Amino acid sequence: MKKFLFIACLLCAAGVVTPNLRAQSINIQTDEAELILRVGDDGRLYQSWLGRRFTNRADVDLLPRGREAYMTHGMEDYFLSALRMTHNDGNPSLLLNYVSHESRAVEGGAVETVIKLRDPKYPVEVALVYTAWPDENIITSRAEIVHREKRPVTLYNYASSMLHLDAAEYWLTEFSGEWANEVNRSEGPLSFGKKVVDTKLGSRANMIVSPMFLLSLDGPAQEESGDVMLGTLGWTGNFSFTFEVDNTGGLRIVSGINPTGSEYTIAAGEKFSTPEFIFTYSTRGTGAASRNFHDWARRHRLKDGMGDRSTLLNNWEATYFDFDEHKLAGIMDDAVTLGVDMFLLDDGWFGNKYPRSGDHQGLGDWQETTSKLPGGVRSLVETAKGKGVKFGLWIEPEMVNPGSELYEKHRDWVIHLPNRDEYYFRNQLVLDMSNPAVQDFVFGVVDGLMTANPGIAYFKWDCNSPITNIYSAHLKDKQSHLYIDFVRGLYNVLDRVKAKYPDLPMMLCSGGGGRTDYKALEYFTEFWPSDNTDPLERIFIQWGYSYFFPSKTLCAHVTSWNKSTSIKFRTDVAMMGKLGFDIMIDELSEAELAFCRQAVVDFNRLKPVILDGDLYRLVSPYEGEHSALMYIAKDDGPAAGKAVLFACDMNPRYGEFTRPVRLRGLDPGRMYTLREINRMPGSRPSLRLPDRAVSGEYLMERGLEVFSTTRARSVVIEITAQ
């Protein structure tokens, strides 16, 4: 008997589970949470638990078997399946039995578990791949599907993840909006039936609905307590999250590529890999859940996640398409005056037969407009270098205007219906990234510019149109592959860019925040959250993104939107993210310019707090006319002991009572000094702060009276531990 147990243990350690060990669980664990799967007596895989990680491991045996982990279509389940396909003989069903599983340590302290499943009647195999990052409490899940049938098999649904939850109440928060009005948070309860959060916009996938959700159990989500789950898909294209409450009150969440219009045919031996579904399960509310995502992103996902970020001056809103070399040289001088690291040249620098004098033509012709820029990018890079600022450049390489030489030459490269009128979104069409020739062209845009001008230090990569007129000349009889192959083609290009230029920072932009996902962010250091830079709106937009994305990814520029607000207010709001400017500085008074210069100095000094610290959302703008958040530097980082508090009054009522803001995340036993920064030169302090050190306990229990009843007013307080 002892010998048998010994052999059984060895087999378990190797991850090979024999039939008589089926009750054994497969634990996908982080420090805080765990997903427990187990094989039932019928040989199928079940999810027994998703929630807090059990301390007493013996209790795990008490858990009921649960629901099937990755349900297939056509068997005895009556609700949404994770996988649906039709076999060569027309049989539309699939049944998956457990075969084996294996866990191994992978990069970044994570553990990857691969569970193999197989249909007993048809040669179809599915591998479920889970990766758990213990420190950051993040789990990713994806599926690999392969078959050995004689002829190709069509996949109709192919989820990255299926998860089950059982609670008295489910509250779903989704993030949606429009151009210049992105990621509005809205929360509601789920009841029997389905709720779908999805998009089919293709390239500019999340212009209207963002690929992320927040699910709270047993009541609406709270910042500091309660069981919540944040989930998102690492896919720069059509996504879908379906929440289905069944007849027993159980909730299943099916996440993946949106299968609408995307049936996918795979030949024998061809592997279909789904993108990653990425989630965190927090038992300490949304604040901790967001910090999980921020830490994971910086440490493991974001391009150069632990690296520095440059401040910049962009010319888009300052000039739009109206500039020449002389004007740009002047703006580079402004960048020097402001003290930022970089000048970013936006749209309007290219096209000769069809000069890019507006947004109606030129896209696709990536040669400098000689009448406007006779010395080309080369001379601009030189000028910037001479002035001691870096040079960045805007491109939109996946797109084409019908008014372009590219369109004239390669109409077959354009996604459009051959027998219908073309429909334009911002006067443009999308290139067919499924076509390898187009991939070469798009890579060539970056590579050509970099080869000719190695001094380019940064790209802003834009994408202003969703996919319209869906048809690919390249894909012929596989039209339903286009949405997926478009994204795979994009990744192919971005892989090549990253391999050749590994240290090149890039901003992801999509007519504002139309592309914000964690696969794209493997290639991009930051993104443009919205074209709306009105600070009163940005408070909400940045708040929405902050659930998933760390501040160092959120480009936030001081512009001329909503000039009724002060430069201080606009700067304070922008400084909650990755600070930049897009403004003619001759519009600024001497005091305002001095203020901005000092803000840049302080931002640079406080980057380790603001960009790399822990975010605490204190007062939500959704709950009234005030908002506050703070960042606390990591204990092992260069700014240990520092924190920065941002507080904003939006449109308060006359005579409204304001309450002190209770800080979070400080050490109650430590003493802190407080100093107001970002003050207009010569102005009186905005508030009276204690003139001696205060305990963390006081700051977190009593709090600070930082709000007022003045419209569009803000304060920034630097907090330093003694």
Residues 114 and 118: their CA atoms lie apart, in Å, by 13
- For 584-597, b/e burial (b = at least 16 CB within 10 A) is ebeebeeebbebbb
Q: Which is nearer to ligand GLA, 556 or 648 (CB)?
A: 556
Kindly state the smallest distance separating residue 383's Cβ from ligand GLA, in Å: 21
Among positions 439-468, residues that touch ligand GLA (CB under 6 A) are: 462, 464
Q: How far is the CB of 356 from ligand GLA (least distance, A)?
A: 9
Q: Which is nearer to ligand GLA, 235 or 316 (CB)?
A: 316
What's the distance, CA 188 to chain centroid? 23
Q: At its nearest, how many Å lie between ligand GLA and the CB of residue 462? A: 5
Q: Which is nearer to ligand GLA, 27 or 401 (CB)?
A: 401
Q: Is 197 helix (H, G, I), strand (E, B) or coil?
A: strand
Q: Which residues contact 708 (CB under 8 A, 6 or more apart)?
A: 649, 652, 658, 686, 687
**Among candidate residues 577, 548, 545, 567, the one with its CA nearest the CA of residue 646:** 577
Minimum gap (Å) between residue 561 Cβ and ligand GLA: 12
Please tell me the distance from the alpha carbon of residue 615 to that of residue 299, in angstroms, as a whole number.
16
Choice between 293 and 316, CB closer to ligand GLA: 316
CA distances (Å), 540 to each of 36, 106, 414, in order?
Answer: 37, 37, 36
Among 46, 241, 394, 547, indicate the residue that binds ligand GLA (CB under 6 A): 394
Cα→Cα distances 403→153, 175, 260, 363, Å: 41, 35, 32, 8
Q: Considering only residues 477-516, where is the footprint of ligand GLA by CB under 6 A? A: 509, 511-512
Phi, psi of 124 (to 5 degrees): -120, 130
Closest CA to 178 of 693, 532, 484: 532
Please state the closest distance from residue 581 (CB atom) to ligand GLA, in A.
13
Beta carbon nearer to ligand GLA, 153 or 313? 313
State the minimum distance, in angstroms, from the CB of residue 531 to ligand GLA.
Answer: 5
What phi, psi does 392 have (nearest 5°)? Answer: -120, 155
Q: How far apart are CA 676 and CA 601, in angstroms?
A: 15
Sites for ligand GLA among residues 308-327 (CB under 6 A): 316
| Residue closer to ligand GLA (CB basis): 68 or 347 | 347
CB-based contacts of 8, cutoff 8 Å, min separation 6: 18, 21
What is the separation, in whole angstroms, between the first and last Cα of the chain? 63
Residue window 346-375: x/- pattern of binding to ligand GLA, with contact defined by CB under 6 A: xx-----------x----------------
Residue 649, CA distances (Å) to 90, 265, 535, 554 in order = 63, 54, 11, 21
- Quote the radius of gyration of the chain (alpha carbons, Å): 27
CB of 80 closer than 8 Å to CB of 193:
no
CA of residue 327 relative to chain centroid, distance: 35
Of the pair 232, 319, the CB lying nearest ligand GLA is at 319
Cα four-point dihedral sign 517, 520, 522, 527: negative
Joined together, the tokens standing for residue 389 give 């600022």
CB 523 to ligand GLA: min, Å: 18
Nearer to ligand GLA, 79 or 424 (CB): 424
Q: Which of 49, 413, 528, 616 binds ligand GLA (CB under 6 A)?
A: 528
Task: Give the total of residues touching ligand GLA (CB under 6 A).
Answer: 12
Query: To the nearest whole angstrom, how small is the minimum distance from the Cβ of residue 318 to ligand GLA?
Result: 12
The three-state secondary structure class of 65 is: coil
What minimum distance in Å lies between the beta carbon of 439 and ligand GLA? 23
Catalytic residue numbers, as ranges: 462, 531
- In whole angstroms, what is the distance from residue 310 CA to residue 509 CA? 17
CA 703 to chain centre: 32
Q: 357 vs 695, which CB is nearer to ligand GLA?
A: 357
DSSP state of 255: E
Q: Is 534 in the site for ligand GLA (CB under 6 A)?
A: no
Q: Which residue is nearest to ligand GLA (CB)?
A: 347
Residue 575 tokens read as: 């400084």
Smallest distance, Å, CB 344 to ligand GLA?
A: 9
Q: Is there a contact between 32 and 282 (Cβ–Cβ < 8 Å)?
A: yes
Helices 376-387, 325-338: crossing angle, 10 deg rounding: 30
* Chain residues 49-78 in contact with ligand GLA, contact rule CB under 6 A: none
Q: Which is nearer to ligand GLA, 180 or 640 (CB)?
A: 180
Per CB under 6 A, residues contacting ligand GLA are 316, 346-347, 359, 394, 462, 464, 509, 511-512, 528, 531
